[in-house]
A and B are shown apart, each in its own frame.
Chain A
Amino acid sequence: MSGVMKRMGMIFRAKANKALDRAEDPRETLDYSYQKQLELLQKVRRGVADVATSRKRLELQLNQLQSQSAKLEDQGRKALALGREDLAREALSRRAALQQQVTDLETQHSTLQGEEEKLTLAAQRLQAKVDAFRTKKETIKATYTAAQAQTRIGEAFSGISEEMGDVGLAIQRAEDKTAQLQARAGALDELMASGALDDPTGIAKDDLQAELDRLSGGTDVELELQRMKAELAGGPSSGQQAIEGGTSPSQSRQQPQDTPRFDKQ
Chain B
Amino acid sequence: MIVRIMGEGQWKLTDSHFVELSKLDDELLAEMESGDEAGFHRTLGALLDAVRRLGEPLADDALEPSELILPSPDASLEEVREMLSDDGLIPG
Q: Which residue of B21, B26, B65, B72 is within 8 Å of A162 (Cβ)?
A: B65
Interface residues on B, range: 35 or more
A147 CB–B CB distance under 8 Å: no
Shortest A69–chain B CB gap in Å is 31
> What is the CA–CA distance of A128 and B57 in the complex, to the nearest angstrom?
15
Q: Chain A, 1-45, contact with B by CB distance < 8 Å: what is the 0/1 string?
A: 111111111011101100100000000000000000000000000
What's the Cα separation between A129 and B4 when bound, in Å? 14
Number of A-B contacts (CB under 8 A): 109
B9 with A172: CB separation less than 8 A: no
A164 with B84: in contact, given A8-B69, A129-B60, A132-B61 (CB under 8 Å)? no
Pairwise interchain contact B84-A16, C-beta atoms closer than 8 A:
no
For A16, what are the chain B residues with a Cβ–Cβ distance below 8 Å? 65, 92
Consensus secondary structure, chain A interface:
helix
Q: Which residues of B contact A (CB under 8 A)?
A: 3-4, 6-9, 21-22, 25-26, 28-29, 32, 47, 59-72, 80, 83-84, 88-92
- What are 11 contact pairs spanning A and B, CB under 8 A? A4-B29, A5-B28, A8-B71, A9-B4, A9-B66, A11-B83, A12-B90, A16-B65, A155-B64, A162-B4, A166-B7
